[in-house]
Amino acid sequence: MGKLNRREILKGTGLIAAGAISGCAMPVIADSKIKTPFSIAQTMIPIVGSSEQFPVRRIYCIGRNYAAHSREMGSDPSREPPFFFQKPTDAIQNVAPGTTADHAYPTLTKNYHYEIELVAAINKGGRNIPIEKALEHVFGYAIGLDMTRRDLQRAMGDEKKPWEIGKSFDQSAPIGPIHPVAQIGHFEKGTIWLKVNGQIKQNSNLQMMIWSVAEQISKLSEAFELKPGDIIFSGTPENVGPVVRGDLMEGHIDGLPNLSVKVV
| Count of residues that bind Mn ion according to CB under 5 A | 3
Q: Which stretch binds Mn ion (CB under 5 A): 6-14, 43-51, 211-219, 229-237?
A: 229-237
Nearer to Mn ion, 109 or 236 (CB): 236
Q: How many CB atoms lie within 10 A of CB 242?
A: 17
- Supply the minimum distance, in Å, between the C-beta of residue 232 and Mn ion: 11
| Nearest residue (beta carbon) to Mn ion | 146
Helix (H, G, I), strand (E, B) or coil at 219: helix
Site for Mn ion in 23-62 (CB under 5 A): none
Does 146 interact with Mn ion (rule: CB under 5 A)? yes
Candidates 58, 59, 60, 56; CA nearest to 43 is: 56
Q: Which stretch binds Mn ion (CB under 5 A): 51-59, 96-104, 145-153, 191-199?
A: 145-153
Nearer to Mn ion, 64 or 195 (CB): 64
Nearer to Mn ion, 59 or 178 (CB): 59
CA distance 186 to 47: 16
Q: Which stretch binds Mn ion (CB under 5 A): 182-190, 205-213, 218-226, 236-244?
A: 236-244
CA distances from 182 to 54, 140, 143, 162 (A): 15, 8, 17, 38
CA distances from 229 to 55, 177, 226 (A): 6, 14, 9
- Supply the minimum distance, in Å, between the C-beta of residue 183 and Mn ion: 26
Q: Where are the beta strands (DSSP E) in 29-188?
A: 44-46, 53-55, 58-62, 84-87, 92-94, 101-103, 112-114, 116-122, 138-145, 148-149, 173-175, 179-180
Does 115 interact with Mn ion (rule: CB under 5 A)? yes
Site for Mn ion in 199-218 (CB under 5 A): none
Looking at this protein, which amino acid is placed at residue 117? E
Q: Which stretch binds Mn ion (CB under 5 A): 38-46, 139-147, 198-206, 222-230?
A: 139-147
Candidates 50, 57, 66; CA nearest to 92 is: 57
Binding residue for Mn ion, selected from 101, 236, 237, 240, defined by CB under 5 A: 236
Nearer to Mn ion, 20 or 263 (CB): 263
* DSSP one-letter string for 113-131: EE-EEEEEEE-S-BSS--H
Q: Binding marks (x or -) toward Mn ion, 69..108, rule CB under 5 A?
A: ----------------------------------------
Contact 210, 67 (CB under 8 A): yes
**Antiparallel, parallel or unpaired: β 138-145 and 116-122:** antiparallel
Nearer to Mn ion, 90 or 238 (CB): 238
Residues at the contact surface with Mn ion, assessed by CB under 5 A: 115, 146, 236
